[in-house]
């Protein structure tokens, strides 16, 4: 196993952080925040009391989480990798002393931290409250989902040639991961599929945590999240090497 150098990882993370602050990426977390706030504003204007009101705000939180994980975690991560390929800086990195694992960790660190942090910001922003054991469940589920989304973003970025093609490739994947959970309550087949998507798991978990604060840990959901994260990482390694970026 190759030795990891923290200084190289942090150097890559610093470069990625600066790129993340560009207009193409920074708008995505802002959009997720604005969308959640808009949902809270709309639902607060609708007459409702008790569980009905809680369910509406919980749905707003769930939508915001899916939006954040999809747009910040997947889209931004893929776009940053596509930008490096377009500017020919990826090849320079891969022919330097930076190994593949260092590049991978340094690349997903900024979008992962932003995605994970915003998940907590969305709770009060949506008008919801999660505490105690529920917050622990929320933490585990959102961290795994955020990690999975960033890895999928890196995986998609491998197949892009530039930032324009990145949008074309990412869009259908985002539509599936975001719309299937959103419309799962309307169609039974979508509800079944949603149970096996990390976006569906986080959406379902968030709603239950707000409506049913004493919810127990869904072991099936955690297993699915862990498996999808590992599978995405394994696929990234395979295609990363196959595309000739790995240094012997």
Q: How confident is the model at residue 121 (pLDDT cuts 50, 70, 90)?
A: very high
Residues ≥6 apart with Cβ < 8 Å to 153: 73, 74, 75, 76, 77, 78, 81, 108, 111, 170
- Contact between 114 and 26 (Cβ < 8 Å): no
Q: How confident is the model at residue 15 (pLDDT cuts 50, 70, 90)?
A: confident
Token match 């509406």: residue? Answer: 56
More confident position, 20 or 4: 20
Report pLDDT for 248.
38
- The separation between the first and the last C-alpha atoms of the chain, rounded to the nearest angstrom, is 12
Q: pLDDT of 165-208, one tens digit each?
A: 777 888 888 889 988 988 887 888 888 888 888 888 898 888 88
Mean pLDDT to the nearest integer, 97-113:
83
What pTM does this model have?
Answer: 0.87
Q: How confident is the model at residue 147 (pLDDT cuts 50, 70, 90)?
A: very high
Q: pLDDT of 61-75, one tens digit each?
A: 999 999 999 999 999
Output b/e per residue, 4-33; b: 16+ Cβ within 10 A. eeeebbeebbebbbebbeeebbeebbeebb
Is the per-residue pLDDT at 19 higher than 70?
Answer: yes
More confident position, 213 or 123: 123
Alpha-carbon distance 125 to 139, whole Å? 17
Give the three-class secondary structure for 131: coil
- Alpha carbon 125 to its chain centroid, in Å, reads 18
């Amino acid at each position: 196993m190759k030795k990891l150098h923290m200084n190289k990882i942090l150097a890559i993370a610093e470069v990625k952080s600066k790129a993340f602050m560009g207009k193409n990426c920074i708008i995505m977390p802002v959009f997720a925040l604005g969308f959640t706030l808009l949902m809270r504003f709309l639902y607060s204007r609708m007459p409702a009391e008790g569980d009905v009101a809680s369910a509406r705000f919980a749905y707003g939180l769930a939508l915001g989480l899916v939006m954040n994980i999809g747009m910040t975690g997947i889209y931004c991560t893929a776009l940053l990798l596509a930008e490096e390929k377009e500017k020919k800086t990826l090849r320079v990195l891969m022919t330097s002393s930076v190994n593949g694992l260092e590049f991978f960790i340094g690349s997903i660190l900024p979008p992962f931290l932003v995605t994970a942090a915003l998940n907590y910001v969305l709770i009060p922003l949506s008008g919801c409250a999660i505490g105690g054991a529920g917050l622990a469940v929320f933490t585990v589920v959102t961290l795994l989902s955020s990690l999975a989304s960033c890895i999928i973003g890196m995986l998609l970025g491998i197949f892009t040639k530039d930032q324009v093609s990145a949008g074309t490739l990412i869009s259908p994947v985002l539509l599936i991961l975001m719309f299937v959970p959103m419309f799962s309550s309307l169609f039974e087949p979508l509800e079944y599929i949603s149970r096996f998507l990390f976006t569906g798991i986080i959406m379902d978990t968030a709603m239950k945590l707000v409506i049913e604060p004493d919810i127990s840990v869904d072991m099936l959901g955690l297993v699915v999240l862990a498996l999808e994260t590992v599978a995405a990482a394994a696929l990234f390694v395979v295609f990363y090497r196959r595309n000739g970026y790995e240094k012997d």
